[in-house]
Structure 1
């Protein structure tokens, strides 16, 4: 895992990975905002991050300079972070991932992401996304879902949100 920096030893019972990428599939930052909100509500702790150096063109995804209270400055690079949540009662936990879409080396980036997932025992991946669409304020926002698991598909169909590929 050359491109991943762990904050601590990863648990092996994080069986569901929830992913949100910033960029094209994140209209209004709805997906990344929802994932960060979930991580905050669960008090999920950061587990690891993918080093951005080889995956981003920094003229497209610029680092930010933030001022500290003492007058100093910090550079904040694009973050691709994993968070872990464990319920503490023996049940399986969640692995959460949030970051911008990489600009280059997608295969290497994907391998790094999936290596972390495998190490944490992930068996199910849920991807969040949001697309721009014309929707008047007088109508409900459309929610759709797709899946490969027949049992989950039945549930999504019952909820009326399954969308056939």
Structure 2
């Protein structure tokens, strides 16, 4: 495991592993935002990191605008290059609750090697349970609590989730790293539960309501004694900001009203049509 560096070796006993990744399933920054929140709330300590360089593409043919998302971040002040930041993939330990939290960026290449590093960490600490937390952009109105869906590595895990009113995903299309990890876990005798929430596709900002929906489920499943009432003021501020945007953009308000009706009646509509409507009216970048 030459690309895994330990800073220290915390004492843990078959801990559970919680994973959050930026990229494919981080709509509204729920995946990464939840990990940041839990790290702060649980006072975790960073103890290991993955060398990023084998797993990311930093340069591709194209314009500056097209490839900017792949480049490392740099900071230059008054002509002096102060820093260059590469993607981070870090492990944090919570010895009080016997947890490991992993915050990373979905790799561009070498998925198998990246997954093997995660499985090596599982072997090192005798981890038998992994929980991935994520989010996708959908037709959930911002005025409603988003639903949580799940996919699992083993059929027997579904009973636990049904007790928490978590629905199961039916999907066919482009796969994520986590889907691949879940597929591989079957041969490793490791249980993986993926918790995915929907966030409004018309809002490109941190979604505290989505973070609360995931925190509620993860604390219930892991039986954590965690007070997350400090997230409520963030939701209230979020709602207040959106109320202003709706007053300024009545066309969006009409569409959100339709989304609310469909959501409440569980009517499935077409994401692509709504996304095209947003772009047509210049409302796709709130």
TM-score by structure 1 length? Answer: 0.85
SS of residue in 1 equivalent to 2:19: strand
The answer for the alignment partner of 2:176 in structure 1 is: none
Structure with more of its chain in helix, by fraction: 2
SS in structure 2 opposite 1:40? helix
Structure 1 equivalent of residue 271 of structure 2 = none
**2:123 is aligned with 1:118:** yes
Residue matched to 2:22: 22
Q: Write out aligned runs for 1:12-161 (5 A).
A: 12-59=12-59, 60-66=69-75, 73-87=82-96, 93-147=98-152, 148=154, 150=156, 152-161=157-166
Q: What secondary structure sits across from 1:79 in the alignment?
A: coil
CA distance, structure 2, for counterparts of residue 115 and residue 97 of structure 1: 13
Q: What's the CA shift string for 1:21-65, capped at 9, x where partnerless?
A: 111111121111101110111111001110011111123532222
Higher Rg = 2
Once the two structures are overlaid, the 10-residue window that deviates more, 119-128 or 155-164, is: 155-164
Deviation at 1:14, TM superposition (A): 4.7
Which fold has the larger relative contact order, with Cα–Cα distance below 8 Å and residues 6 or more apart in sequence?
A: 1
Q: Deviations over 1:66-105 (max 9, x none)?
A: 469xx76122211011111111xxxx61111111110111
Q: TM-score, normalised by structure 2?
A: 0.51
Aligned residues: 158
Secondary structure of 2:168's match? coil
Note if contact 1:63-1:77 (Cα within 8 Å) is conserved in structure 2.
yes
Which structure 1 residue ranges, 5 or more long, are not aligned? Answer: none
Question: For the residues of structure 1 that align with 2:9 and 2:119, how far apart are their CA atoms?
Answer: 16
- 5+ long unaligned stretches in structure 2: 60-68, 171-286
User: How far did residue 159 of structure 1 move?
Assistant: 2.1
Q: How far has the Cα of 1:112 moved from its partner?
A: 1.1
1:113-140 deviation digits (Å, cap 9, x = unpaired): 2101221221100011100001223433
Alignment RMSD, CA only?
2.1
Q: CA deviation at 1:141?
A: 1.1
After TM superposition, the runs of 4+ consecutive aligned structure 1 residues lying more than 3 A away are: none
